[in-house]
Amino acid sequence: MTCTTRSALALLLCSAVSIAATPGEAEDAVLVSSTVDRFVPGSVITDDQTLALPAGATATLLFRSGVIVRLKGPFEARLDTVKPAGAPGGTEGLVQALKGKGMDVSVIGATRGFTVPTARAAMTGGGLVNVDVRNSAIYCFGPDDSFWLTGAAVTGATIRLRRGRSVREVAWPKGAARVAWPADVLVEDGDRFDIVDNAGAIVATMIFHRLDPQASATAWIATGLLSGCRSQIAPALRELAIEIEKSASK
């Protein structure tokens, strides 16, 4: 799927649709770190994207399964075209295929347990998810997390929260920095809510994804980033990158 529009809302929705539609043949990945300046940590490596590494350059990829792979250039290919027909699925088949082509590739997450304190703390549940009513965003949450609305431009007003055709008005007391998400409005995986003005025009859109607290810390980070929850997961990704580098230097 190709996104050509530039509006913030359209890019948000397109991102969510693209991630959901990614075929399972080539496992989705996010970039943990790279020696190539144009590759930004947290970037999604899609199956139709050409990953190009000049000679000597490295890229550390985190796959949805939680497996971490470091690849050293020269390399230029799409991940979904590397594996030959009949090769094992997932990262196992990808790594085998890369090694078979003489690529310098290593799995660095198979024998090491990365703790990632920020991720572990979030996975235990009972955290707070602050939903900004001013800006469109994707939010990830666990089974015991609670939601708060933040960022109202004018307090003492009313926020209109719409899901489908149902609109729930939320009173915002004067002077309050945030208000609790209405207890009678349940949030499920994949839900979309809009903040609308008096005329029903969309001010901001929120999309929610539930993460599995039983996943490994690395799989939790990967799934969160692949779901689009970049700002929430970014601190854990930075911690993971530091742990990987410390482990490599031992």
Render pLDDT for 179-207 as a digit per residue (tens, 0 to 9).
999 999 999 999 999 999 989 999 999 99
Looking at the structure, tell me whether residues 98 and 129 fall in a common domain.
Answer: no
**220 domain-assigned:** no
Looking at the structure, tell me whether residues 95 and 152 fall in a common domain.
Answer: no
pLDDT at 171: 93
**249 domain-assigned:** no
**205 domain-assigned:** yes
Looking at the structure, tell me whether residues 60 and 133 fall in a common domain.
Answer: no
**197 domain-assigned:** yes
Asked whether the predicted pLDDT for residue 8 surpasses 50, the reply is no
Looking at the structure, tell me whether residues 97 and 66 fall in a common domain.
Answer: yes
Looking at the structure, tell me whether residues 96 and 169 fall in a common domain.
Answer: no
Residue 27: how many CB atoms within 10 A of its CB? 23
SS3 119: helix
**204 domain-assigned:** yes
| Count of structural domains within the chain | 2
**224 domain-assigned:** no
Looking at the structure, tell me whether residues 86 and 163 fall in a common domain.
Answer: no
Enter the tokens of residue 221.
């980070």
**117 domain-assigned:** no
Asked whether the predicted pLDDT for residue 23 surpasses 80, the reply is no
What residues does 47 pair with on adjacent strands? Answer: none
Could you identify the residue written with the tokens 């969309």? 202
pLDDT at 26: 54
Looking at the structure, tell me whether residues 14 and 100 fall in a common domain.
Answer: yes
SS3 122: helix
Asked whether the predicted pLDDT for residue 174 surpasses 90, the reply is no
Q: What is the mean pLDDT of residues 99-122?
A: 80
Residue 197: which domain range?
Answer: 125-210
Cβ proximity of 82 and 54 under 8 Å:
no
